[in-house]
Structures are given as C-alpha cells and as structure tokens.
Amino acid sequence: MGLGETKLFYICVVGLMGIVAGLWPVLTGPHARYDRFFSLGNAFGGGVFLGASLIHLLPDSIDSLRSLLGPSWDYPLASLICAAGFLVVLLIEKVIVAEGEGRVLSSASVSRYALAPYVLALVLSVHSVIAGIALGAETSVVTSAALFVAIIAHKGVAGFALGVSLHRAHIARPRAIGLVAFFAMMTPLGIVLGALLGALLSGKSAQWFEGIFDALAAGTFLYIAVVDIVESEFAKPGDSGAKFAMVALGIAVMAVVAIWT
C-alpha cells in the first residue's frame, strides 16, 4: 500500500474513531464502569503524545531544518518553532477561550457547565487540525505510522470525553451530534490539507513545510500530553501507579517505533 492509500486509510479510521467514541456517551449515556478504563487509556495516550513529540516529531524537524540551513547554522530553530506551537495552543485554551468564556458568563445567565462542551470542542479541534496537517505532510510511511498511532491513541478518548461533556450539559441530541461530527472531521481535514500542500510544494519548499509543521505539531503534542492529559489525570485521586505505568508504556511504544524510523 502506497503513501497515498495509507493516508486515505488514516482519514477513514481517525474520522470513524472520533465519531464512534463521541457518539457513544451522547446516545447511551456514560457509565461509571468505563471511567477507570478511559482514565488509564487517556494516560497511555498522553505517553504516546509525549513520545511522539520528543522522539519523532522534534528530532525529524531538527534534522530537516538543519539540512536546509547548513552545518554552519547552529541556532535551535526547530526547538523555537516547537515552543511556538506550545504557546499557540496555550494562548487559545488559557487566554482567548478562557477570557471569552468569562465574558459570556458575566454577561448572560449561562452556566459554566453548559458552556464547557463548546470550549472543549473548539480546543480539541484546533489540536486535531494541526496534528492532521503534520500527518498529511509526512513523506515516510513509517514516520506517518508513528504519528497515526499517537493520534489514534488519543482520538477515541478525546471524543469520548467530548461526548460525556455534551451529555452532562444536556445539549440537545441533534446539536451534540453536530459537534461530535465537527470534532471528528478536523483531523481528516488536517490530513487532506497537509497532503495537498505537500503535493503542491517540491524540493526545498516541501522540506521547509514538513520541517516547520513537524516542529509545530511537536509543540502541540507536548501541550496535550503535559497540560491536557498527564496533569488532569494525576489530579484525580487513585490509580497513580497504574497511570504512571500507562504513560511510561506510551513513551516506550514510541521509542520502539523509532527503531524503524
């Protein structure tokens, strides 16, 4: 299977995963017996994102940009772009969205609980588009497979979390389904955009594009892993040892995949 067919497979699987996981709690309601399973799965996804960021994306970006800039260039440009990607998501989630949420709550009779699923859908969608573009821009089947594992490991848990938030906020079912579908399609949209831009560019332009988006995605993956997953999971009481083991397992999976990349 060629790279184009592989990316089409990624689009179908990631989109389906987001829809199924998001609609599950919307249509059936969340169940307490699944809480531990999804908590540990989320911790594993955090480890995978952390490993993908530091073991795959950032080193690939460093190598790509260094080959473009030449051996005399010693400024850590890829690391700077990675930090910029981290800051972009931090700005969106903790400044723009948080302040906008505060203004809405102060000017209208809207509960924070009711607004939470819309904020969550927006933040998860921003993450999804950036990650999808990085995946779509990849020119190596093996490297793209590592990114796919990282994305799919978290897509289901993220979709389920969004579905639970929609259910608990008593969002009307048609609107909830629309929000889940919007979230689910963001990664496939990013993959298509990344693949199209990669196909339109050639030579050094394509290498610049892939190197820059690898670094940006590394920053967003790092943010998701540390701020959105690891911090929130360990803030919940219980299963700390099991959660640590799942995070370590996720990193280990990415370390093993790196043997073939």
Q: What is the pLDDT of residues 80-119, one digit of tens each?
A: 999 999 998 888 878 877 776 666 555 554 555 556 677 7
pLDDT level of residue 78 (50, 70, 90 thresholds): very high
Asked if residue 249 belongs to a domain, the reply is yes
pLDDT level of residue 30 (50, 70, 90 thresholds): low
How far apart, in whole angstroms, are the C-alpha atoms of residue 160 and residue 62?
Answer: 34
Higher per-residue pLDDT: 63 or 259: 63
pLDDT, tens digit, 9 for 90 and up, residues 236-252: 888 899 999 999 998 99
Amino acid 157: pLDDT: 72
Q: What is the pTM of this model?
A: 0.73
Ramachandran angles phi, psi of 201, nearest 5°: -95, 160
pLDDT, tens digit, 9 for 90 and up, residues 116-132: 677 778 777 877 888 88
Higher per-residue pLDDT: 116 or 195: 195
DSSP count for the chain of H helices, then E strands: 11, 0
pLDDT, tens digit, 9 for 90 and up, residues 37-74: 777 877 887 888 898 889 988 998 999 899 899 878 88
Please work out, in degrees rounded to the nearest 5, the angle formed at the alpha carbon of residue 89 by the alpha carbons of 180 and 102. Answer: 75
Asked if residue 164 belongs to a domain, the reply is yes
Higher per-residue pLDDT: 177 or 72: 177
Amino acid 82: pLDDT: 95
Q: Which of 103, 145, 156, 126 shows the shortest CA–CA distance to 217?
A: 126
Amino acid 245: pLDDT: 95
Asked if residue 30 belongs to a domain, the reply is no
Amino acid 102: pLDDT: 63
* Mean of pLDDT values over 195-205: 81
Per cent of the chain over pLDDT 90 is: 23
Asked if residue 172 belongs to a domain, the reply is yes
Amino acid 28: pLDDT: 78
Domain total of the chain: 1
Asked if residue 31 belongs to a domain, the reply is no
Asked if residue 222 belongs to a domain, the reply is yes
Asked if residue 37 belongs to a domain, the reply is no
Higher per-residue pLDDT: 63 or 210: 63
Domain interval for residue 86:
3-24+42-260
Asked if residue 138 belongs to a domain, the reply is yes
Buried b (16+ CB within 10 A) or exposed e, 99-117: eebeeeeeeeeeeeeebeb
Residue 152 has pLDDT above 60, yes or no: yes
Amino acid 81: pLDDT: 96
Query: Which spans in 32-108 are helix H?
Result: 35-51, 58-69, 77-90, 97-107
